[in-house]
Amino acid sequence: MRTHITNIYGQSPSSTAMIAQNMVTEVAKSIGFNEIGIYSYPIHTDTPQEIRKRIDGMLAGVSNHDIVVVQLPSWNGIEFDELLINKLLGYSDIKIVVLIHDVVPLMFENNYYLMQRTIDLYNKAESIIVPSDEMLKTLKHAGLVVNSIAVQHVWDHVTNFDPKQPIFEPLINFAGSAVRFPFVQNWHSQTKLQVFSRSTISSLNEQVSYRGWLPDDDLLRQLTSGFGLVWSENIDNQSERAYSQRNISYKLSTYLAAGLPVIVNKGISNQSFITENNLGMIASSLSEIDQLIAHTTEEQYQDMANHVRQVGYLIRQGYFTKKVLIDTIHQLLTC
């Protein structure tokens, strides 16, 4: 018996989807998993037979009785994901675990028609790893019937970087697309906003500065003061705010790995995790940020930073991912 995990390649170096799957795979490999590489490509250029041949090559190291963790979506389309899962089901006594990063029908309104196919795909697994308790409720309401469930709660951000104690100042750091998150263009706060993004869009507020996209280690070194911001707004075809109540944010883990306390929108899926561990502050609207920071003392900030340092160590070492994978394998083999 061997354990395997899928991992995507071929996307942009700044693709959060690929970065997250690569990170999970590296953690899994550290505890004995074998990697199954999946390259992102336009599958509609292939016939179903050609796709099956590609999948045969990907699964060359898989045998009967193995355990395979499939990170979904593969971003090659649900047709590819269905063919992959169905191929795995052809192995004798195979145990399939679906590790959900995103649920495409919930991300994009015009893809909701794929919800039933997505649930049917999940139901073929023996075990599911979901991002949050709220996502689990949503999927069960849509028809998920898998009994073996584990909850990720927070992503890791594995790195050798060791942050220094952050500096308290009225500064907001935001790592994300200025196009996908339009509040960047309409920043009205007096608090400075530092944006790390490939997109540079003019802002009416001189408090906004663009730092460009940075490789991971460089970004972590720049996050040395103020707060990290996790914020979602609804945009065309994407109900980002509702989705943030179900998924978990990779940028949250980036800030915590860098040692920064955070400010997050109320209702975020891991709000209780943030408040119970004193990792930052919750805001109902961006208009509250100036007052939140104005009423925060140096002592309160450093107390949050000390708690962040403890949780950040777990995140940088991959302990949340190790735990959810080990718990899942243990449940599969002992029930």
Q: Which residue has the tokens 């994009």?
A: 108
Same domain, 138 and 25: yes
Domain count, the chain: 2
Return the number of other C-beta atoms located less than 10 Å from residue 164's C-beta. Answer: 10
- What are 96's strand-pairing partners? 68
Same domain, 212 and 248: yes
CATH of the domain at 288: 3.40.50.2000
Beta-strand ranges (E) seen in 188-290 are 192-196, 208-210, 225-230, 262-265, 280-283
Residue pLDDT tens, the chain, 335 long: 999 999 999 998 888 899 999 999 999 999 999 999 999 888 888 888 899 999 999 999 999 999 999 999 999 999 999 999 999 999 999 999 999 999 999 998 888 999 999 999 999 999 999 999 999 999 999 999 999 999 999 999 999 999 999 999 999 999 987 777 888 888 889 999 999 987 666 666 788 988 888 989 999 999 999 999 999 876 666 677 888 899 999 999 999 999 999 999 999 999 999 999 999 999 999 999 999 999 999 999 999 999 999 999 999 999 999 999 999 999 999 86
Structure confidence at residue 234 (pLDDT): 66
Edge-to-edge order in the sheet of strand 148-151: 34-39, 3-9, 67-72, 95-100, 127-130, 148-151
Instruction: Identify the DSSP state of 15.
Output: -
Same domain, 151 and 28: yes
Structure confidence at residue 211 (pLDDT): 87
Same domain, 142 and 190: no
Structure confidence at residue 143 (pLDDT): 98
Same domain, 207 and 134: no
Q: Residue ranges for the binding site?
A: 16, 180, 249-254
Note the maximum CA span of the chain: 63
Structure confidence at residue 238 (pLDDT): 64
Spatial separation of the C-alpha atoms in residues 143 and 152, rounded to whole Å: 20
Q: Residue ranges for the binding site for UDP?
A: 16, 180, 249-254
Same domain, 300 and 195: yes
Same domain, 30 and 152: yes
Domain housing 69:
3-156+318-334
Residue pair 127/149 in contact (Cβ under 8 Å)? The answer is: yes
Look at residue 162 and tell me if it is in a domain.
no
Burial class (CB in 10 A: 0-12, 13-18, 19+), 195: buried
Same domain, 108 and 144: yes
pTM of the entire predicted model: 0.93
In this structure, the chain runs to a length of: 335
Same domain, 213 and 119: no
Same domain, 94 and 145: yes
Look at residue 66 and tell me if it is in a domain.
yes
Return the number of other C-beta atoms located less than 10 Å from residue 14's C-beta. Answer: 14
Q: Which residues contact 48 (CB under 8 A, 6 or more apart)?
A: 83
Spatial separation of the C-alpha atoms in residues 165 and 289, rounded to whole Å: 22
Same domain, 146 and 175: no
